[in-house]
Amino acid sequence: MSTCTTVSQDLDEPIAGTAATATTWLLLEQPGPWGAKALTQSHLDPALGRALEAAAQGTGVRIALIRRPGRHADYKRPSERRVYAAHTVPGGVWLRTATVRDPRQLLELDLAALGRGEHHTFDKVLGGHAHTGDPLALVCTNGKRDRCCALLGRPLAAELAASGVDGVWEVTHLGGHRFSPTLLVLPYGYAYGRAEADVVRRVLDGVREGRIVGEGCRGNSAWERPGQAAELAVRRTTGESAAEALSVVRTEGAAPLWEVTVAHADGRRWRVDVAQGAAQPPRPEKCGTSVLGSPARMDVVAVRELRTTATATALAG
């Protein structure tokens, strides 16, 4: 039987420019089962879940639940929970962690400040500190949102954990079920799709060295979808792999056509034309539905390096 993932892969649907968007991720450990809307459909107090969702609106913060891979013991009230916050905008990337006994403490956080990249609220309220271990590998396993996330995501998370990869967590939702198994790697915030264990290991090795692996990359969550596609296109064009080398500094236009300016830390700039198209033919965008859709796709039309003052000086010399 065909699934949304097999149909997407058979049609060779482009994967670049499909990552969830968030300047900052806030992750709360919550064991046990998750519903489709996990913040309000798990053993987390649903009133707390609704309050966190409301508080995050418009802040750039995306809140998700995480749990360790494996059998999910049904602990309704774990004594302690791990919490992470990660800011993903290049030049200001950080990953903080804390342990809390009462998840209601998260309501005391200044989420707008977290979204701007200020971690003082996380440190002050939760006793947070810099995460010094391996990067986080977050694998979407929420089968209540789409069965592919469970059928493909859970085995990937289990295999990574069993092979000794540290920092592996299951996560509630990363978007793009049809690209399962999907993965988010923190602190840099690059998302991956159709992930296989050997590729994930290379991705994590790269992150430890401050590099980004382009294979299977959906984009950096710090940028909107046109910016994600543009930045990845510049990486492909230049061979740049340094994690924080590139930033999206301007996006002009509106659907279906944008001009995106991508800047390098060394001063170089590129103008990238990105067009929004519709993936054809129409198909179910998730399992369990007969409704056909044509997912939006980001197509890079052109990449042009801009002649900056620094470039002109170098050429003149």
Give yes or no for residue 55 having a pLDDT over 60: yes
Closest CA to 180 of 142, 214, 207, 219: 142
Give yes or no for residue 70 having a pLDDT over 70: yes
Mean pLDDT of 129-143: 92
In the chain, the amino acid numbered 212 is I
Mean pLDDT of 9-18: 84
> Using an 8 Å Cβ cutoff, are 139 and 170 in contact?
yes
Mean pLDDT of 224-236: 98
- Output 48 or 311, whichever has higher pLDDT: 48
What pLDDT is attached to residue 45? 95
Of the pLDDT bands very low, low, confident and very high (cuts 50, 70, 90), residue 312 is: very low
What pLDDT is attached to residue 216? 95
Which residue in this structure is represented by tokens 């806030």?
26
What pLDDT is attached to residue 73? 54
Give percent of the chain above pLDDT 90.
Answer: 73
What pLDDT is attached to residue 142? 83
Chain segment 272-300, per-residue pLDDT in tens: 999 999 888 877 777 767 777 788 899 99
Chain segment 38-49, per-residue pLDDT in tens: 999 999 999 999
Give yes or no for residue 145 having a pLDDT over 90: no
Q: List the single range of 151-160, 174-183, 184-193 with lowest mean pLDDT.
A: 174-183
Of the pLDDT bands very low, low, confident and very high (cuts 50, 70, 90), residue 179 is: confident
The neighbour count for residue 166, using CB atoms within 10 Å, is 12
Whole-prediction pTM: 0.92
What pLDDT is attached to residue 311? 54
Of the pLDDT bands very low, low, confident and very high (cuts 50, 70, 90), residue 309 is: low
What pLDDT is attached to residue 4? 75
What pLDDT is attached to residue 315? 41
Give yes or no for residue 316 having a pLDDT over 50: no
> What are the C-alpha distances in Å from 301 to residues 85, 168, 237?
35, 36, 13
| Mean of the per-residue pLDDT values of the chain | 90
Tell me the domains of the chain and their CATH numbers. Answer: 1-223 (3.40.30.10)
Chain segment 20-30, per-residue pLDDT in tens: 999 999 999 99
Of the pLDDT bands very low, low, confident and very high (cuts 50, 70, 90), residue 229 is: very high
Q: DSSP for the chain? A: ---HHHHHHHTT---TT-----SEEEEEE--S-B-SSTTTSBSS-HHHHHHHHHHHTTTTEEEEEEE-SS-----SS-S-EEEEEEE-STTS-EEEEEEES-GGGGGGS-HHHHHHT--HHHHHHH--EE--SSPEEEEE--TTT-HHIIIIIHHHHHHHHHTT-TTEEEES--S-GGGPSPEEEETTTEEESS--HHHHHHHHHHHHTTB---TTEEEETTS-HHHHHHHHHHHHHH---BTTSEEEEEEEEETTEEEEEEEETTS-EEEEEEEEEE-SS-B-SSTT----B--EEEEEEEEEEE--HHHHHHHH-
Give yes or no for residue 180 having a pLDDT over 90: no
